[in-house]
Amino acid sequence: MTAPEFDSAAARQAILDRIAAAAKAAGRAAGDVTLVAVSKQQPWERIAPVLAAGQTIFGENRVQEAQTRWAGRRAEQAAPLELRLIGPLQTNKAREALELFDVIETVDRPKLARVLAEEIQRAGRAPRLYVQVNTGEEAQKAGVVPPDADAFIAACRGEHGLAVEGLMCIPPQGEPAGPHFALLARIAARNGVPRLSMGMSADFETAVRFGATSVRVGSALFGSR
């Protein structure tokens, strides 16, 4: 499973260069796009060189796994880390998620919005929040469907008092991603939502072209899981 010869620090630099080139081609500044290093299921030997190279923003899709990987190591880092939850969140894990994550990108249903609002009150500190949109309306995928997105964003803000920093999507496999990124960008624009988390290893340059402010890259950065 492990391939310790994979040079993740070199891979990171190559990805940053590709992000910068894609941004420039789209008339954007390279600094407008944040690389989120998706460290889920990766061995520490691949993560350490990326940390040493200066990467501070990491994405994880499971609360428990992220706690195991990061909770003890956080304090040891020279620069503050930013951890982002990019996988589905069960309401009974909301409190733990709030303790660990700086950003939760997967707010996708009224019950979760309500529980997060309660836990934020209780904790007296709030992570930055993204609403996940199921742009392909896939039955097996999390996220609010596009026809419900405006109302859900309004409810997050109005009913629950949550600030919505961005929108996130995972386009269907085997379909061109561009139309999904464009749809997410339209939903964000008409709701005044400033950030877009979209694009993974296979399509992050396309996402940059469509306005991504952060891309979530795992296997291209760390090697296959």
Does residue 191 interact with ligand PLP by CB under 6 A?
A: no
Does residue 87 interact with ligand PLP by CB under 6 A?
A: yes
Does residue 201 interact with ligand PLP by CB under 6 A?
A: yes
Does residue 43 interact with ligand PLP by CB under 6 A?
A: no
Does residue 47 interact with ligand PLP by CB under 6 A?
A: no
- Residue from 8, 42, 55, 61 that binds ligand PLP (CB under 6 A)? 61
Does residue 187 interact with ligand PLP by CB under 6 A?
A: no
Dist. CA 158–CA 166, nearest whole Å: 16
Backbone torsions φ then ψ of 197, nearest 5 degrees:
-100, 105
- The sign of the torsion formed by the CA atoms of 16, 35, 40, 203 equals negative
Does residue 180 interact with ligand PLP by CB under 6 A?
A: no
Q: Is 81 exposed, middle or buried (0-12, 13-18, 19+ CB in 10 A)?
A: middle
Does residue 104 interact with ligand PLP by CB under 6 A?
A: no
Question: What's the closest the beta carbon of residue 168 comes to ligand PLP, in angstroms?
Answer: 7
* Beta strand spans in 31-127 (E): 34-38, 57-60, 82-85, 103-107
Residues 143-162 that bind ligand PLP (CB under 6 A): none
Nearer to ligand PLP, 49 or 88 (CB): 88
Name which of 141, 127, 209 is nearest 173 in CA terms: 141
Dist. CA 9–CA 122, nearest whole Å: 39
Name the site residues for ligand PLP (rule: CB under 6 A): 38, 40, 61, 86-87, 170, 200-201, 216-220
